[in-house]
A and B are shown apart, each in its own frame.
Chain A
Amino acid sequence: MSPILFWFFALLMLVFGAAVVVNRNPIASALNLVVSFLGLAALFMSLDAFFIGIIQVLVYAGAVMVLFLFIIMLLDLRAERLRKINWVASAGGVAVALALLVQIFYVIGHLTFSKQTFPPLARSEIDDVHNIGLLLFGNYNLPFQIIGVLVLVATIGAVLLSKRERR
Chain B
Amino acid sequence: MIPPPSLEIAVLVLGMVILMLEAFAERIDKRILAFATIGALIAVLIGTWFLAPSPAQEQATGFWSFYTADPLSIFFKRFALLTTILVLIMMIDYAPVVLASIPSTKKQTGLGEFFAIPIFTCAGLMYLVSAIDFIFIFVSLELVTISFYVLVSFTRHNPATLEAGVKYLVLSALSTAFLVYGITWIFGVTGQTNLQRITAALANPEIERGPALFGMVLVLVALGFKIAAVPFQIWVPDVYQGAPTPVTAYLSVGSKAAGFVVLLRVLRPFLMLPQMERLIVLIALLTLLYGNLAALPQSNLKRLLAYSSIAHAGYLLIGVACFDGPAVTFYLVAYLLMTLLSFAVLVIVAQQTGEEISDFDGLAKRSPFLAFAMLIAMASLAGVPLTAGFFGKFFIFYAAIAQRQTALVVVGVITVACGFYYYLKVVRAMYWQPAAKVDNISVNVLSRLAMSALIVAIVWLGIYPAPILEALRR
Asked whether A and B interact, the reply is yes
Show the binding face of A for B, using Cβ within 8 Å: 103-104, 107-108, 110-113, 139-143, 146-147, 149-150, 152-154, 156-157, 160-161, 165-167
Residue B214 is within 8 A (CB to CB) of chain A in the complex: yes
Nearest 9 CB-CB pairings of A with B: A157-B150, A165-B104, A143-B139, A150-B143, A107-B214, A146-B139, A153-B120, A153-B147, A142-B66
Considering the chains assembled together, what is the distance between the CA atoms of A152 and B66 in angstroms?
Answer: 22
B105 touches A166 (CB 8 A): yes
CB proximity of A109 to chain B, nearest CB, Å = 10
Given contacts A160-B150, A166-B104, contact A143 B120 (CB under 8 A): no
Given contacts A107-B214, A160-B110, contact A146 B208 (CB under 8 A): no
A149 touches B12 (CB 8 A): yes
Considering the chains assembled together, what is the distance between the CA atoms of A140 and B135 in angstroms?
Answer: 9
- For B145, give the chain A residue with the smallest CB separation: A150
Residue B324 is within 8 A (CB to CB) of chain A in the complex: no
Given contacts A157-B150, A161-B156, contact A146 B140 (CB under 8 A): yes
From A103, A104, A146, A166, give the contact of B127 (CB < 8 A). Answer: A146
| Pairs across A and B, CB under 8 Å, 10 listed | A103-B214, A107-B211, A110-B210, A143-B135, A156-B116, A157-B146, A161-B156, A165-B102, A165-B104, A166-B105
- For B150, give the chain A residue with the smallest CB separation: A157
From A111, A112, A157, give the contact of B149 (CB < 8 A). Answer: A157
- For B121, give the chain A residue with the smallest CB separation: A153
Residue B300 is within 8 A (CB to CB) of chain A in the complex: no
Given contacts A142-B66, A157-B117, contact A107 B143 (CB under 8 A): no
A167 touches B105 (CB 8 A): yes
Collect the chain B residues with CB atoms within 8 Å of residue A146's CB.
Answer: 127, 136, 139-140, 143
Collect the chain B residues with CB atoms within 8 Å of residue A166's CB.
Answer: 104-105
Show the binding face of B for A, using Cβ within 8 Å: 12, 16, 19, 62-63, 66-67, 102-105, 109-110, 113, 116-117, 120, 123, 127, 135-136, 138-140, 142-143, 146-147, 149-150, 153-154, 156, 208, 210-211, 214
From B103, B136, B214, give the contact of A143 (CB < 8 A). Answer: B136
Considering the chains assembled together, what is the distance between the CA atoms of A112 and B209 in angstroms?
Answer: 11
- For A108, give the chain B residue with the smallest CB separation: B211
Majority secondary structure of chain B interface residues (helix, strand, loop or mixed): helix
From A140, A147, A156, give the contact of B113 (CB < 8 A). Answer: A156
Majority secondary structure of chain A interface residues (helix, strand, loop or mixed): helix
- For A140, give the chain B residue with the smallest CB separation: B135
B139 touches A150 (CB 8 A): yes
CB proximity of B309 to chain A, nearest CB, Å = 24
Considering the chains assembled together, what is the distance between the CA atoms of A73 and B108 in angstroms?
Answer: 33
Collect the chain A residues with CB atoms within 8 Å of residue B123's CB.
Answer: 149
CB proximity of A120 to chain B, nearest CB, Å = 18
Considering the chains assembled together, what is the distance between the CA atoms of A9 and B138 in angstroms?
Answer: 29
Collect the chain A residues with CB atoms within 8 Å of residue B208's CB.
Answer: 110-113
Collect the chain A residues with CB atoms within 8 Å of residue B109's CB.
Answer: 165
Collect the chain B residues with CB atoms within 8 Å of residue A150's CB.
Answer: 139, 142-143, 146
Collect the chain B residues with CB atoms within 8 Å of residue A141's CB.
Answer: 63
Collect the chain A residues with CB atoms within 8 Å of residue B149's CB.
Answer: 157
A165 touches B103 (CB 8 A): yes
B211 touches A157 (CB 8 A): no
- For B151, give the chain A residue with the smallest CB separation: A157
Collect the chain B residues with CB atoms within 8 Å of residue A154's CB.
Answer: 146
Considering the chains assembled together, what is the distance between the CA atoms of A152 and B18 in angstroms?
Answer: 14
